[in-house]
Structure 1
């Protein structure tokens, strides 16, 4: 009797798969430093030589960056492969921001609905903490803190959807838009009632997810992004009116 050969994966390849899974799942995020070599080898129950070979493979794929004497860090390759070209275009073509907001509405509506169904207790604990930080940031008046807290909350929503592609696409999009989000918040906060509206919208998203209501979560996310898009559009129209009126006055 003949048998087909059994392909036993090399130890280093198995380590690569485990580390890649941790990166895909967001356990290790871009910029994070991997645990020290000795610690990782002990956790996997492998030799440091096998671990080094796995790190070399990940480095060759562009997933990590090993720095002499400084450790090994997760790269932003997965995010940059999408956002890199668009980030520059977004800065040069302001009209693209409307398309990006429309895309965010479609993407984050689905993210919120999935998170309402799939979020674990750990996800809900994390979201509760991040919403509390977002709420606290609104009280400070610090625009950098507010935009950072906003991005962190929306990134955690994407993680809670438990879809790897959605999570990385959302993270990439939010990273690309972080300066844009900061500018949006700065502009929106010039209108006092807007701050309380934005916070109430984030609260509605969080409560719908915590209540495991996907339809309400989707509607809350879409309502939030509709509000941002419509308010910014109205502000642009008003700015053009002011500019025209100022030019007319100067021409007299």
Structure 2
């Protein structure tokens, strides 16, 4: 059994990944006993604590089991467990936010396509009403976040798919704080309103291709603003620590 030395920060995740690779490749099979923690730590080139953590993770996933009389064994159907699992290593919050943003973009582009096919007159009136609300936000220098969320939610409801509508609502509210910041970017709210109007007209005209393209551009504009904001934060001078009295 050959393992690679661990040289990255998330040691336990790397151990889990390597063992899972061995199982998928057929080099490790169900019921097989793994080396003890000391031997594994030597093969991986890491501490026993890291190995112990990795084994605990795999035990919680149903990949290995620890016997009372000693020894760690691969569970029955461990291969099937790995293949069907949504097994993505833990990510920092900033990377998780990027995943959420990517998921929301992909989902809402498809939502726009379905809305073009399924929106009825009431749906169109609801979407149009959110445009009026955003115009009021522009006129009164409000954040516009509520009308922004409602716009996308009404489009999702127009798909007539309750699961999709729930997903859009969940992703939208989860990312509310960032949406507030991007809408506050100079000139963004008025530009966002125009993008919303164009998307609404495409839905009204049942033009799926144009609507999907407009929704993609809509998210593209937001991505540009987020990139500009991140660059600005990097270039900002570091805050001075308060002097001790």
SS of equivalent residue, structure 2 residue 236: helix
Aligned to 2:150: 152
Where in structure 2 are there 5+ consecutive unaligned residues? 1-89, 241-245
- The aligned runs of 1:113-152 (5 Å cut-off) are 113-143=113-143, 146-152=144-150
The aligned residue for residue 178 of structure 2 is: 180
User: How large is the Cα RMSD of the aligned pairs?
Assistant: 2.2
Q: Is the 8 A contact 1:130 1:153 kept in 2?
A: yes
Give 3-state SS (helix, strand or coil) of 1:141's partner: coil
For the pair shown, which has the larger CA radius of gyration, 1 or 2?
2
Pairwise CA distance, 1:115 = 0.4
Q: What is the CA distance between 1:157 and its match in structure 2?
A: 0.5
Aligned length: 151
- 1:95 offset after TM fit, Å? 3.5
Find the residue that maps to 1:94 and give its secondary structure: helix
Helix, strand or coil: the match of 1:95?
helix
Task: Work out the CA distance in 2 between the residues paired with 1:164 and 1:241.
Answer: 44
Q: What is the match of residue 162 of structure 2?
A: 164
* Aligned mates of 1:229, 1:97 — CA distance in 2: 12
Could you say what secondary structure the match of 2:160 adopts?
coil
Q: Matched residues in 2 for 1:198 and 1:95: separation?
A: 25
Distance in 2 between residues matched to 1:243 and 1:93, nearest whole Å: 23
Deviation for aligned residue 1:177: 1.9
Greater share of residues in helix = 1
Alignment of 1:211-222 (within 5 A): 211-222=205-216
Q: Distance in 2 between matches of 1:213 and 1:243?
A: 47
For residue 241 of structure 1, what is the aligned residue in structure 2? Answer: 235
Contact 1:98–1:229 at 8 Å: present in 2 too? no
In structure 2, the partner of 1:228 is 222
TM-score of the pair, normalised by structure 1: 0.55
TM-score (ref. length: structure 2): 0.57
CA distance in 1, matches of 2:189, 2:132: 15
Structure 2 CA distance, aligned partners of 1:132 and 1:147?
13
Q: Which has the higher contact order (CA 8 A, sep 6+)?
A: 1
Displacement, 1:96?
A: 2.7
User: 1:108 maps to what in 2?
Assistant: 108
Superposed CA deviations along residues 131-177 of structure 1, whole A, max 9, x for unmatched, are 2112221221122xx11111111100100011221111111111222
Shift of 1:195: 3.0
Q: Distance in 1 between matches of 2:97 and 2:230?
A: 12
Deviations 1:86-118 (CA, angstroms, capped at 9, x unpaired): xxx99x713332222221110100001110111
Q: Distance in 2 between matches of 1:223 and 1:207?
A: 15
Q: CA deviation at 1:222?
A: 1.0
Contact 1:101 1:225 in 2 (8 A): no
Partner Cα separation in structure 2 for residue 106 and residue 179 of structure 1: 20
